Amino acid sequence: MRILLVNDDGIDSPALIPTIQALEKVGDVEVVVPRNEQSWTSKSNTRRADKMRLEIMERGGREILTLEGSPADCGNYGIFKDSVKPDLVVSGMNVGHNVGIAAFLASGTVGAAMEGVLAGIPSIAVSGPYIFLDSKLVESEFIPPLEIFPKIITHYMENSLEDLALLHVNLPIGKTHEKVVATNVGKHSFGPMFETKEDGYAYPVFYPKLIQPDGEEFLSDCWAKENGYGSVTGFTHLVQMIDRKITHEWLEIANLAYKEEELR
C-alpha cells in the first residue's frame, strides 16, 4: 500500500516521525509537508505564486520533501506528482485537537485530507488533542496514541463502508487507546476571535481565551476529547457526516469501538 503523508504543522512537527513510524507498519510512506507551520489554513490553495520551493530535508534519518505552500498544496502536489496515485492519504498527526465543527472547518489537517477526498482516494485526518500549556509536546508523547492507528487504517482499507471517503480521527496524546468512540462532530463555535482596541487595530484573541470545545453533547467528538477518549467520525465524498451508529457498527467489526454502556 502506497501512503501519502501530509500535515499542517510542517517539517519540524514533533508528531511527524511518530506518524511516519506508525504508517510504516502498514505500507510504504511518502511524505510531502509544508516548509513552515500552517495551522488553521483550512483547504486554502496557493493561486498567486509564480513558483513554490521544493526542498528535501532530513529528519529522523529520513529524507522529507517540503513544499513552500499550504497543507492542501502539499496534498495536491503529493497526489498528482507521479503517474500512479497513492492508495491512501493521511494528514497529521496534528499537534492539537480538531474536534467540533469550528476546528474541523478551520483545520489545515482536514483541508489537506480533503485533497485526497477530491481525488477519489481514501483519506484520513488524524489529530492529537492535548491539555494546552500543560503538555510536553515532544515526539515520545505522540507514540502511544498512534499505536491503534495502524489497526484503524487496516480496517478502513480492507472493510470500508459504502460512501466512506474521510475518517476524522482524534487521539489524545500521552496515552494508548485500545478502542475509540464513534462520534458526531460537536456543534461548537470558538466565539469572538478578535478584540478591537482604541488604536484602531483588531487583535487576535490568544487561543486559551477562546470558547473551548468542552461539555458538549454525549458522544460528540468534543465530549470524547473532554473525557480522554479517542474518536472517529466518518464523512462521505460530499463531506456529509455518516450517522454515528453506522460508524460505530463498522468499528465494532474490528473490535475497535467502545460500547455505549462502557462510556456512561
Domain coordinates in residue numbering, the chain? 2-189+220-263
pLDDT of residue 216: 73
Residue 45 has pLDDT above 80, yes or no: yes
* DSSP element (H, E) containing 121: none
pLDDT of residue 133: 61
* Per-residue CA distances from 155 to 80, 167, 233, 238, 244 (Å): 26, 11, 14, 22, 17
Contact 147, 250 (CB under 8 A): no
Taking the C-alpha atoms of residue 106 and residue 42, their distance in angstroms, rounded to an integer, is 5
Can you say whether the dihedral through the CA atoms of 264, 187, 113, 74 is positive or negative? Answer: negative
- Kindly give, in sequence order, each residue whose CB lies less than 8 Å from that of residue 74, ignoring residues fewer than 6 positions away: 6, 7, 32, 33, 34, 67, 112
Residue 197 has pLDDT above 80, yes or no: yes
Mean pLDDT of the chain: 95
Torsion angle, CA of 168/74/238/190, rounded to 10 degrees? 60
Taking the C-alpha atoms of residue 70 and residue 47, their distance in angstroms, rounded to an integer, is 11
Render pLDDT for 112-152 as a digit per residue (tens, 0 to 9).
Answer: 999 999 999 999 999 999 977 667 799 999 999 999 999 99
pLDDT of residue 117: 98
CATH of the structural domain 2-189+220-263, one choice from 3.40.640.10, 3.30.420.40, 3.40.50.2000, 3.40.1210.10? 3.40.1210.10
Can you say whether the dihedral through the CA atoms of 147, 152, 153, 154 is positive or negative? Answer: positive
Phi (first) and psi of residue 150, to 5 degrees:
-60, -35
Torsion angle, CA of 171/172/174/177, rounded to 10 degrees? -50
Residue with cell 529524507: 63
Taking the C-alpha atoms of residue 27 and residue 23, their distance in angstroms, rounded to an integer, is 6
C-alpha 207 chain-centroid distance: 19
Q: Which three cell numbers stand for residue 242?
A: 455518516
pTM over 0.85: yes
Higher pLDDT, 61 or 134: 61
Residue 198 has pLDDT above 80, yes or no: yes
Residue 132, Ramachandran bin (φ over 0: left; ψ between -120 and 50: alpha; else beta): beta
Taking the C-alpha atoms of residue 123 and residue 182, their distance in angstroms, rounded to an integer, is 17
Residue 69: pLDDT band (50, 70, 90) is very high
pLDDT of residue 208: 79
**Identity of the residue numbered 16:** L
